[in-house]
Amino acid sequence: MRIAIVCPYAWDRFGGVQTHVQAQAATLRARGHEVTVIAPRTWSKPGPGDLGKTEDVVRVGRTVSIPANGSMAPIAFGPVTTVRVRRALADLSPEVVHLHEPLIPSLSALALLNSRAPCVGTFHASSESSVAYWVARPILNGVMDRLRVRIVVSDAARDLIGRYFPGDYEVIPNGVEVARYATAAQLDLGAGRTVLFLGRLERRKGLEVLIQALTRLRDLDAKLIVVGTGPEERACRALAARLAVDVQFIGGVHDDLKAGMFRSVDLYCAPALGGESFGIVLIEAMAAGTPVVCSDLPGFRAVAEGAATLVPPGDPGRLADALREVLTDESRVGAMSESGRTVADRYHWPRLAERLEDVYVRAVAGSGR
């Protein structure tokens, strides 16, 4: 089947949706489908986390960053981008178009409005509410009607989109290339216990809370490894220096090195404050056999399935207690590692690809759900 997958966010920026689209495309190609990704890119030069080297990617438009859900979303829009999206779809002539975040005013929405092929949409975002959806609902209702099948990555994502656009949504979660994380080569991170933070350095990810928690673990000689970049990096560096916390900022890394990081640390921590619909990084850590401590958020809770230790978001004291319990209990580490691998196997991409293939067949047939 000829499939076009549209990513609304800059392809050369690290992000959960971009990583999801990359793995989805690779898995479907391996199953014999002809897959092309359509995505924008930034004005800046590619960095270590650049996905632009992926084959069969049509880059359409340059992005600008706008505030969205506590983050900055790199999206592309405007009349020139619209023409290029329309041209790309015409050249590819796909049998089905899979749009990620189809209501975002970027390539996904433009493709939905200009596609002659049947469209499938996946919604990733989670939040308590959305002013944008509420204001634009009268207009977007007509846009939503163009989707043959609506997919959400979690119940938390369905709670958000379903509040403003009621209807049938199928839950197909984010996937992980389990083998990549389970077999990655370990890295030499030096002596002592290591805690990994991996994500974009912005306030909602909660890195400052984790740095504060590490001040209570000085007796364990615990070191924090930070992978990622973002607008809060300077503030986090300053906080770590002021509190004399041993933190190593790595910057962005490519996927193979990321998998090695997960395999090499003693614990992965996701101290997010909110806005997490799924938590793909939790599954990546579990696939590597790494124990996980994370915030007790609906999206994280659904993924963890009892394999991770959950703590109230924004509480350095409770977070420090949870980190200490895991770092000092070898038997618990072994149990968490085993249960985490079991959970991760449910999100193995080939399993999810079968469900997507069924969706595509129904979309082309016009039956929807």
Digit-coded pLDDT (tens) for 165-218: 999 999 999 898 899 999 999 998 888 899 999 998 999 999 999 999 999 999
pLDDT of residue 68: 62
3-state secondary structure of 241: helix
Q: pLDDT tens-digit profile of 109-144? A: 999 999 999 999 999 987 776 888 888 888 899 899
3-state secondary structure of 44: coil
Q: What is the mean pLDDT of residues 25-32?
A: 95
Provide the whole-model pTM.
Answer: 0.78
pLDDT of residue 92: 95
Two structure tokens written together for 229 = 């970049």
47 pLDDT more than 60: no
Q: pLDDT tens-digit profile of 298-332? A: 889 888 878 999 999 999 999 999 999 999 999 99
- Among 119-133, 242-256, 257-271, 300-314, the range scoring the smallest mean pLDDT is 119-133
All domains of the chain, ordered by start, with CATH? 2-175+348-365 (3.40.50.2000), 178-345 (3.40.50.2000)
122: left (phi over 0), alpha (psi -120 to 50) or beta: beta
Q: How many CB atoms lie within 10 A of CB 279?
A: 29
Half-sphere exposure in the Cβ direction for 247 (13 Å, CA): 27
**Residue 41 pLDDT level (bands cut at 50, 70, 90):** confident
